Structure 1
Amino acid sequence: MPTSKVADGTRPGAMESGGAESGRTVSAGVDSGGTASATASLRVGLLVSRARAAARSGDLDGALRLLHDADDPGVADHPDVLDLLARVHAQRGDLARAAEYWRRVQEQRPEDPAASAGLARIDQLGGRGPRAALARHRAGTALAAAVCAVAAITAGTVALTDAAGGRSEPPGPTRAESAEQRARQLDAERRAEQAQERDLEAARRAEAAVDLAGALRAPGVEPVVDGASVEVAFADGLFSEGAELTRTGADRLAVLGGRLAGRDVRVEIRGHTATVPGAPTSGGSVLSLWRALIAARELSAASGRPLTAFTTESADQRDAPYPSPAKNRTVTVTITPE
């Protein structure tokens, strides 16, 4: 009697750090122990095929329902079913469940490359700290690309043969359809690579801002990281009631300017004024702009950078950094590493 066999083509393996994909052939036929029946093999192949079709169409919940509703333990615990469960859970962002199913795959296939790679990516995503964040951008994009292959799989011909009648299911995609699927997959990979590059650049800029804030911190100078920039405020007002710097204000600007020397940064200065009775409560003022210009002059002299390297503006009165009028006789400085 002929043996029924289900060949599910090539399913995507785990993505390497460089973005290359290593495929492996999945056979839902007799397992390595040689004990699975042809009927069980057919059931596994049909279940995996239906669940993958649901995942490719974007119905991840439907794919999970199909996989979880398998009532035969021999089917439900098959490594191919467990692997697809891990991939769908990873695609949904449930990395703990994905790891659980990949470990169950390893119980049956200790050297399974996809399970090992998936677990390694999840471990990388668990780090902490600024440098671990950078690693998460690298590993996270690679994992996303790997699991996205569930929805953008380029399948080969699927032959489902009935043992009794020798009948076959309809053939898989034509060459034109396969080429179109491959083109979509390559486009998805290209977009994933571009997203990874953007994420890495954002992480680099954020890390540079953290380093810059640490270098600028000094008594009375209060830098705070805001995305890829550093917002600097001063603990005390820098000016008298007009546009004349106090001695403390001049010293604080000199310290900040000295720490900007030699750095490739973009500097924006906003002047502030204290709100007084009868004065406009919005729209900025000539006095606040004048304070920004004076601060630019002091920072230029201390840093050795030309005045043209500084952008100045009047802040709106509603954006005053402090509730105290005296402390609002000041400027705030936004510094962005290039």
Structure 2
Amino acid sequence: MTEPPPPRGRAPEPTGAPLRVALRVSRARRAARAGDVDGALRVLDEPEDPACAEHPDVLDLRARLHAQRGALDEAAACWRRVLARRPDDPAARAGLARVARLTGRGPRAVLGRHRARTAAVLALSTVAAALAVGGTLLTGSDPGRETPVAAPTEPDRDDGRGDGAPGPTAESDASDAASEAAAEQAALARELARELAGQGLRVTAEGGAVEVAFTEVVFAEADRLTPGGAERLAALGAALAAHTGPDARVEILGHAAAVPGAPDSGGSVLALWRALVAARELSAAADRPLTDFTTGSADQRDAPFDDAALNRTVTVEITPSAA
């Protein structure tokens, strides 16, 4: 089955405020990582800002969430809407190609479904363990990375041995492979945590990822770095350059000290700005493109410290890659 080409005309890309788009995507990711896919979709569908709801970044995340639920038609529809605005978007094209393989017929389609199912099990076992922040489905929105989507499972079949006992299935093979991959990923994370440990940092390995928190005040006020915060970010960026490959995923979550009378959940624009500032510092120190870093606002309830000054900070989550 060949996926129909996207519309030839390019629809104008919505001009919703970038910060509002980023904040909505961040909130939806956090809900998804907590296992609340339906809640994540509700966040993306909030009616207050229609321009945000039709932004390609929002549509792409909505497509990935639908794909994760097995709603492939809805996923494909969202990716087509992305291509109507960004005809060359690699993530949308990859997503549509994957949907076509999963829903096609013939030997090539069967092979594609088996590979997609195996990839989905691997992704869920490693990513869910890695993202204690709530685990999704996705760790970021790297537009160049194809995200595996879950295919409908198939019943066990007799392997033809004639003894009536079911033979090995693709699902059991994938489960074994997933266990090995999760163990390897966890070992990579523990090793990276040892390499990143340093003064002023709290480094922990959780599942297949490493979380770095700063035990010194990072921002003096608003999004202005303290000298010590700038120094710690530069040191971490240099360590990332030395100990991680280009395929490692790095997500930066900004935090803000709780303010009386302010909302206690949902993230904040200030926290997102802090994440963007930290991403700029890490990008320069690691000599990696800024687009290699995913940024977002942490929920106020997820402050890393009890001290308000220390919560003027960011946390950095790194998922190392074996490749």
Higher relative contact order by CA 8 Å / sep ≥ 6: 1 or 2? 2
TM range (shorter): 0.3 to 0.5
Which structure has the larger Rg? 1
